[in-house]
Chains A and B, each alone.
Chain A
């Protein structure tokens, strides 16, 4: 149904090398001004090679770079929350970590500042995949809670996935660098309704 962000490339792969080079180049010239020629030059491959891996050219390159970065973000997040067992702890530390990584992503923040109208439509597409991924992850973690039997696990997962992503992108009045505040968020807005 929904394809989940994934990295399919080997690190020695030419395709991976092109993805990495494109990301670095975006950090310098942004998205609008990026050309396939420059990517070819930077990665020391021919234009033909790039079109062999990315037949749709620049748009496909950019989309795959974003998908790859989203995967990296989720991969880091999964590894980090793997340290915690308790559902509440996973949520609290997961939210804090995800937000921190988002703020630390220099290239993303540069593009968001310089070319919001270019990057945001692309991120919206990615966001749907991220929601689908978080939804699936949440389903695997629900056994840790004594759930309210009236709730459908699918509804819970969808609610958590959407609201978590919303919070992480725009925290509003919640201070996601303050553990006590995040714990209050998780307890009131998420756990209160899930537990039996």
Chain B
């Protein structure tokens, strides 16, 4: 279903930002899967090129060392074009890169989770896939290492609350075959919390990126809670 949408929007006569985002999306998904078909999936619009160039700059230099000039050079466009499309500069481009990457991530999650036959499988697949996406996001990885002071404010306190809210919203469709809307949202938020709480900090106890350890973890710590949560809401409804 998602794939069809991509095709339809791409073929529409007047490309909207949405279709640009989608083609960039496909490009990125393929990049992540190392299945890039050159010339077919590469971004074509200037907007796409800029976003992709910004992504590459962030991957190479991090946040503070990436300049508008770097993005222009990498995307082979003029500074004038860059500022015409993104009048507010670097942060605006990065916000767009994040928005597009978020969309890619959740589309990919949906595709992966669609295959699952049980809630347990959906939970495991979504966590596994989300971690894979985060690990393969070179821009994120570089910025975390080079510019912690830039990224950390997004990952704590109120800003993180906003991210959790967004994830609950975007992630809840992953589980709505098995759970009520409100429980799906709680679950998506909780899984995101688990990933953030364990991701990046070295844990001797748990390596979430190892499938078997992840399955065990989900079975032990997540599934029993979901069961109680679902029973609870049945009683109260």
| Chain A residues with a Cβ under 8 A of chain B | 112, 116-118, 120-121, 123-124, 128, 148, 150-151, 154-155, 158-159, 162-163, 165-167, 169-173, 184, 187-190, 192-193
Which of A128, A166, A169, A172 has the most C-beta atoms of chain B within 10 angstroms of its own C-beta?
A172
> Are A123 and B156 within 8 A (Cβ)?
yes
Q: Which of A118, A128, A158, A170 contacts B205 (CB 8 A)?
A: A158
> Are A170 and B148 within 8 A (Cβ)?
no
Residues of A within 8 A of B37 (CB): none
Shortest C-beta distance, A2 to chain B (Å), equals 11
Shortest C-beta distance, B86 to chain A (Å), equals 22
Say which size band chain B's interface belongs to.
Answer: 35 or more
Residues of B within 8 A of A184 (CB): 232
Say whether, besides A124-B148, A193-B220, A170 and B156 are in contact (CB < 8 Å).
yes
| Chain B residues with a Cβ under 8 A of chain A | 148-150, 152-153, 156-158, 160-161, 164-165, 168, 185-186, 189-190, 193-194, 196-198, 201, 203, 205-206, 220-229, 232
Say whether, besides A112-B157, A118-B149, A150-B220, A173 and B164 are in contact (CB < 8 Å).
yes
Residues of B within 8 A of A118 (CB): 149
Residues of A within 8 A of B157 (CB): 112, 169-170
**Known contacts A192-B227, A193-B221; 10 further A-B pairs (Cβ under 8 A):** A117-B149, A121-B152, A124-B152, A150-B220, A159-B221, A166-B193, A173-B185, A188-B226, A188-B228, A189-B225
Shortest C-beta distance, A68 to chain B (Å), equals 20
Residues of A within 8 A of B227 (CB): 192
> Are A189 and B152 within 8 A (Cβ)?
no
Grouping DSSP codes into helix (H, G, I), strand (E, B) and loop, the A interface class, with mixed when no group exceeds half, is helix
Residues of A within 8 A of B161 (CB): 170-172
Q: Which of A120, A150, A162 contacts B153 (CB 8 A)?
A: A120
- A123's nearest neighbour on chain B, judged by CB, is B156
Residues of A within 8 A of B153 (CB): 116-117, 120
